Amino acid sequence: MIRVNGSGEERSAALVNQKQELVHGINDELAKIIQSDLKMADSDIKVKELEKRASGQAFELILSPPSTDAAPDLSISSPKKKECSLEEIQKKLEAAEERRKLHEAEILKQLAEKREHEKEVLQKAIEENNNFSKMAEEKLTSKMETNKEKREAQMAAKLERLREKDKKVEEIRRGKDCDSRTATS
């Protein structure tokens, strides 16, 4: 890559010139390749270069007239059908029927395998669902038992506190009754 020093316009002009030189170089190489390919392909084609432009290069291809002395034979004949005997036709029909039956058997086999797979998947899903249900039921039962035990323990604790309060209240009443009896006597 060539570096260009100078003002912006000078740089732009230099870059445009470099681009044009590259394009012309590429176009010249392309023209040489096309000409060599055409010379190798057919000597009846001639390439004439028209003009070079910044956008590309123009060519004119000149084809020489075809020679009339070496005209190829273009008669096309249809392929001849060979005669088939009744036995050959029957054998072909039997072979076709056998292929059809084999194909049907293969399809039925694939369908049976697919159904079997679907049954296995369904059975597995049912088992997983049952296992999940059992696990959930066991977990719920365990949780309910734990909650019941906690509730019973809480109730027993509350009843014990109430009994203690009743005892204290009873003691206080007895103390007041004793005080009031001693005060009245």
- For 72, the 3-state DSSP assignment is coil
Contact between residue 63 and residue 45 where contact means Cβ atoms under 8 Å apart: yes
Over residues 87-118, the pLDDT tens digits come to 999 999 999 999 999 999 999 999 999 999 99
Q: Is residue 22 one of the residues assigned to a domain? A: yes
10 Å Cβ neighbour count for 31?
15
Listed ranges 37-41, 55-59, 66-70, 114-118; the one with the highest mean pLDDT: 114-118
Query: Mean per-residue pLDDT for 61-89?
Result: 69
- For 121, the 3-state DSSP assignment is helix
The structural domain count of the chain equals 2
Task: Give phi and psi for 148, each to the nearest 5.
Answer: -65, -45
53 plus 107 within the same structural domain: no
pLDDT for 112: 97
Domain that holds residue 120: 87-176
pLDDT for 65: 67
Over residues 128-151, the pLDDT tens digits come to 999 999 999 999 999 999 999 999
Q: Is residue 182 one of the residues assigned to a domain? A: no
CA distance 57 to 185: 144
22 plus 57 within the same structural domain: yes
Q: Is residue 82 one of the residues assigned to a domain? A: no
Q: Is residue 76 one of the residues assigned to a domain? A: no
Does 80 score more than 90 pLDDT?
Answer: no
Contacts of 55 (CB under 8 A, 6+ apart): 23
pLDDT for 158: 96
Task: Give phi and psi for 78, each to the nearest 5.
Answer: -75, 145
Q: Is residue 42 one of the residues assigned to a domain? A: yes
Q: Is residue 81 one of the residues assigned to a domain? A: no
CA distance 117 to 98: 28
State both tokens at 165.
């309060």
Does 29 score more than 80 pLDDT?
Answer: no
Q: Is residue 68 one of the residues assigned to a domain? A: no
10 Å Cβ neighbour count for 99?
10
CA distance 164 to 162: 5
55 plus 123 within the same structural domain: no
Query: Using 50, 70 and 90 to split pLDDT, how confident is the model at 181?
Result: confident
Query: Using 50, 70 and 90 to split pLDDT, how confident is the model at 19?
Result: confident
Query: Mean per-residue pLDDT for 160-179?
Result: 89
Does 124 score more than 90 pLDDT?
Answer: yes
Contact between residue 47 and residue 59 where contact means Cβ atoms under 8 Å apart: yes
